[in-house]
Structure 1
Amino acid sequence: MTQIQVGDTLPIVVLKYCPYDPALENACGIPQVFDLNSLKGKKAVIFGVPGAFTPTCNNQHLPEFRQKYDEFVKKGVDQIICLSTGDAFVMDAWGKWTKSNDKIILASDGNGEFVKATGLDQDLSKMGMGSIRSKRFALVADDLKVTYIGVETSPGVSVSGADAVLAHL
């Protein structure tokens, strides 16, 4: 699959997530459908991580977006979504752990449908993480059209980080 580019339309796939519920502090909710078609007419940032709780994802990538949430809103972003191929329960637990609350949807692409459809998948089986994992990336979609895409080609966070995305809004 060719990697998604600026000007392309997001594939309409169904992700799963557990909506933020402060009453479920020590338990996961029931996964709900998150249809990317719900982003029609909205400006969204989607960033992908290889795995929840992994060092760079947990200590740098997600926290930057959470800390700069208000800056994204001021620039017209309606929705921020963190995507991983982990299951919805793991993503929910990670959201609680990082106190992302209702600011960022931590969505599961458990079958890798989004990352495969966009060419943003990678095989991390040599690291024991499975053959379908998300690359580290960030994209901006305005009314489902990609206006920015940054995909990391080496370890760390640069073109997929919050500052890089904010600079392109």
Structure 2
Amino acid sequence: MSGLKPGDSFPDDVVFSYIPWTPESADITACGIPQNYPASKEWKDKKVVLFALPGAFTPSCSARHLPGYIEKLAEFKAKGVDIVAVLAYNDPFVMSAWQKANNVKNDDILFLSDPDTKFSKSIGWNMGERCARYALAIDHGKVIYAAKEPGRDVSVSGAEAVLAKL
């Protein structure tokens, strides 16, 4: 498959991995327990924005991609978005630490792991073993926005670009 496009159904077998945020594991040195996150099931009746990036703690991802979503979270919620999620190939422990390092609490943004880059590879939006940089907006199981970055910049997958399409 070569990506997803508006009008496509979100696949019905997508499972990511994550560590839910809890007050008990809020400290960056605390470890939670990884759990499966059945995205297809959880997102079936919701409006979701998923943005993917090559890796947690990397320069572009940390300085230019994630911050826009943190800053604009209220604007996404005002447009009816139920869930904002970030996806990378990193394991759930790294994604959880990245969430804590960015002071994102209460799963305001889900930090999801794409084990073995399975999902990203299934849609052809990977860079070797890493996720490519892309964004999807899904409304009740239907893709309403899908864009993969043509280069290294954060443009079509950034918070501003996705907000403009909702």
The TM-score normalised by the length of structure 1 is: 0.92
CA distance in 1, matches of 2:161, 2:67: 14
Alignment length, in residue pairs? 161
The equivalences for 1:1-169 within 5 A come to 1-11=1-11, 12-24=13-25, 25=27, 26-36=29-39, 37-101=41-105, 102-123=107-128, 132-169=129-166
- Cα deviations by residue, 1:113-164 (Å, 9 ceiling, x for unpaired): 21012221122xxxxxxxx211101110001211001211111211100000
CA RMSD of aligned residues (A): 1.0
TM-score by length of 2: 0.93
Structure 1 residue 73 displacement after superposition = 0.3
Deviation at 1:23, TM superposition (A): 2.2
Q: Distance in 1 between matches of 2:65 and 2:104?
A: 12
1:105 alignment partner, SS class: strand
Cα shift readout 1:11-40 (whole Å, capped 9, x = no counterpart): 221111111123221212001111012101
Distance 1:137 1:78 in 2: 19
Give, in whole Å, the separation in 1 of the partners of 2:5 and 2:147. 10
Q: What is the rounded CA distance, in whole Å, between the counterparts of 2:67 and 2:45 in structure 1?
A: 27
Deviation at 1:6, TM superposition (A): 1.2
Q: Which runs of 5+ in 1 are unaligned?
A: 124-131
1:28 alignment partner AA: C
Runs of 4+ in 1 over 2 A off after TM superposition: none
